Amino acid sequence: MAQITIREAISQALWEEMEANEKIFIMGEEIGVWGGTYAVTRGFYDHFGADRVRDTPIAEGVIAGAAIGAALTGCRPVAEIMTINFALLAMDMIVNHAAKLRYMFGGQFSVPLIVRTPGGGGRQLGATHSQTLDAIFAHFPGLRVLAPATPYDCKGMLKAALRQDDPVLFIENATLYQKRGEVPDGEFLVPLGKSDIKRSGKDVTIVTYSKMLHVCLDAAKQLAKQGIEAEIVDLRTLRPLDMEPVFESFKKTNRAVVVEEGYPTFGVGAEIAARIQAECFDYMDAPVRRIAQLDVNLPYNRTLEQAAIPNADTVVKAVKEVMYV
């Protein structure tokens, strides 16, 4: 299998699906001639042409609204929002229209729309451009919310998303585009709505997703040197949320740490911890420990910003707390 970056994996998925299905087109700010803010669509404009690679005005509500209209009339648009922070400007279109139209019209319409957008902090972009807003969008029924963390999952899940008929928010962590991993040369899909065991272990369950997967894998290496074997469950999809692998792992380890980059208040970790407590209370040997970004606006200063985001040492400390409670 080839070793490629997440940027290349996403680009390959888009290219291959656009070659296979002429109904797919992409639209967004600077995605055409410029090739995208993160270079994912570089070369697409010259190959597919202006009809299928459409540069748009700086108007996220218009991008999402036009994409919904195109999806309703039989196209399969991929709308790129430059950052998930700007998706707030398209919130009404995404969660009040794309996510609800099929339900409100009794299944007469489908909205096969993909909204691609990067999120997360760690790049010194300031408080308004560094947020992890995954939990906000995952709150709403009717919208699939995907947040893969490896090149394999990014390519396979994006290809699968482009072949189904529900609206999808595909969240790419802004600091992971250069992350490398193995991806098969041939055709493959990764099922949506399925969590995945990224590391087997017997002592503690770590539940995570997106960038924090790699933080947790680093932490697991440190813990293994100290005789603690952590099992890591990568959620990959936040809606629908697949908890079965989490429950199975917890019933084996009896301890859990949930790690996310977003805010702790009303966050993904709170939902995971509540479900573990509700479904696996009799197996619980320690309270579920939650790790998240500090509940503050992210500073611009690099040292302060990094201090606010969870790291491997934070995870190691939390695991030891639940191991030796």
Active-site residues: which are they? 60, 129
**Count of residues for the chain?**
325
Distance, in Å, from the CA atom of 237 to the CA atom of 113, rounded to the nearest integer, reads 17
Spatial contact of 190 and 196, defined as CB atoms under 8 Å apart: no
Instruction: Give DSSP secondary structure letters for 267-293.
Output: -HHHHHHHHHHHHHGGG-SSPPEEE--
- CB proximity list for 12: less than 8 A, separation 6 or greater: 4, 155, 183
Distance of CA 93 to the CA centre of its chain: 20
Tell me, what amino acid is at 211? K
Q: Where would I find the H helices in the chain?
A: 6-20, 44-48, 60-72, 91-93, 101-104, 134-138, 151-161, 211-225, 244-253, 268-280, 302-308, 312-323
- d(CA 265, CA 120) in angstroms, rounded, equals 16
